[in-house]
Structure 1
Amino acid sequence: MMMAMAGGLVVKHEPTNGWDGRIEFSASAASGNTETSVLGARFSAKRVFGRFKNSLDAGANYAKATTENADGEEVTSETQDNFFVQYRLDAQTGDRHFAYGRVRYEEDAFSGFDSRWFIGSGFGVEVIAKDNLSWNLLGGPGVRIVSVSETEGEPTEDDGTEVALFAASEVDWTIRDGVTFAQDADATLAEANTTLANEFTLTTALTDRLSTNVGFKLSYESEPPEGRESTDTLLRASIGYSF
């Protein structure tokens, strides 16, 4: 089980090049019996061009802890080291329907997976499309390419490429002026392993340009690599810069 909490940077202004996005930063440090350092970053950008929408997302987390062993020596170990990048293209096909293509790459040093790709496409529907509330559902087939970490230097037989099914739910709710709530849940179903993720984010505006963000993410692997837990959690607090 993995848990991290950090405080970090969100600023907002009108886009000048057709892109609207945000960069978030988080950092924390603690000292005492255990010295810990946590760093995190998140990037997202969108551009609407006619009936097409481009979405780019990326994120990374790194954490380490330093403790003193029985001999009085300091021992430093990493507790988080992961990142992802994702691109999605939506094409509106009707008033509330769209087709999409999606590519995602991720690495996580502590999940047991050296790297994972997902390339797929499908269709989506805007279930709710109001000024203060939106809810999208989407899904379709794809290909997942997995590289599993070696065990004691021995190559694993779990590497491979397989057909998978992706499904997602996206909710954005403006609770009141300056306060928004978002939930992003998705599932990647494959024969070898099914991955589930559910993330909640609460954003509060400080000014027209600054806001704070608090998020919680729960991830689940039905068949994790040997020696790994099925469930990971991540709690984060951040401040960001929008462009």
Structure 2
Amino acid sequence: MTKRISLILTASICLAPFAAADDGWTGEGSFSAGYTTGNTETTDLGLAVKLNRDVGIWTYTGEAAADYGETESIETKNRFFLAGEVDRQLGDKLFGFGRTSYEQDEFSGFDSRFFAGVGLGYPLIETEQTNWSVQGGPGIKIDEVRDRFVDVNGVPTLVPGSTEQSFSVIASSDFSHKFNEAVSLTNSTNAIYAQESTQLGNVIALTAALTDTFSARFSFDVRHDTNPPEGFEATDTVTRASIVYAFGN
């Protein structure tokens, strides 16, 4: 079932830029090759799309990503991520938001992770070269922990999976800087706090324009979990090289 969902998501990511461009959306689609460390050490391929649309005081954004990797014909990475957000301007700069996200990762200790929340955001810097905004607010976090075996006095013992639902708080920061018309730097940081486990993530990326629509990007992604299930690493890192296609601009 998970492989079927991954195939559907991958096809959707490939087709989304073309459908969205005709419907007034802007954004980007990317194809990447990466190297992952942490719970797995593997080279992998990835597809991703980001969408954005402004309608008066409302802004709609969406994000989807899928990563797959094999080592000696054995699957070593299979992850996909979906997120959507709606923002509403409340003043000249202050805005409110509602956000949901969903993730499945075959090689983590979780079958799935879901978050839904609301909050406020504010742009700290808005210039032609530099933009920096922050946002945060409360929400709910649901982690589906998978079945796993742990060593108990030398005997492999099955620990049944469980559902962990808790109040949470999300905080994020999005920074971008244009060095010139062709080269830019972005840094996105997010944290989802919950009593059981807190997720921390940071992606820093350097993008260089190749043509009006295509760019090359090098990025470094760090994901950290403060309390992973026993037997799993707390930190995963992904180093990526990507080709990016911008549409609707």
TM-score normalised by L of structure 1: 0.84
Distance 1:164 1:128, change over 3 A: same
Aligned to 1:87: 84
Return 5+ residue gaps in structure 2 as ranges.
Answer: 1-13, 36-41, 150-157
| 1:96–1:127 CA contact under 8 A, matched in 2 | no
Residue type at the aligned position of 2:237: T
Shift of 1:139: 0.2
Q: 1:148 aligns with which of 125, 145, 148?
A: 145
Aligned to 2:222: 218
| 2:25–2:52 CA contact under 8 A, matched in 1 | yes
Aligned to 1:110: 107
Instruction: State yes or no: 1:231 paired with 2:228.
Output: no
Return 5+ residue gaps in structure 1 as ranges.
Answer: 1-8, 30-35, 67-75
Deviations 1:53-112 (A, max 9, x none): 10000111111111xxxxxxxxx3222111100000010111111000000000111111
Q: 1:122 aligns with which of 114, 119, 122?
A: 119
Distance 2:99 2:134 in 1: 14
Secondary structure in structure 2 of the residue aligned to 1:192: coil
Aligned to 2:195: 191
Residue type at the aligned position of 1:114: D
RCO higher in structure (CA 8 A, sep ≥6): 1
Distance 1:235 1:166 in 2: 25
Distance 2:219 2:190 in 1: 16
Q: Percent identity?
A: 36
| 2:48–2:65 CA contact under 8 A, matched in 1 | yes
Distance 1:99 1:28, change over 3 A: closer
Shift of 1:175: 1.2
Structure 2 counterparts to residues 1-243 of structure 1, below 5 A = 15-27=21-33, 38-66=44-72, 76-152=73-149, 154-157=159-162, 159-243=163-247
Distance 2:141 2:166 in 1: 6
Which structure features the higher share of helix residues?
Answer: 2
Distance 1:117 1:200, change over 3 A: same
Figure out how many residues of one structure are paired with residues of the other and give that number: 217
Distance 1:27 1:135 in 2: 28
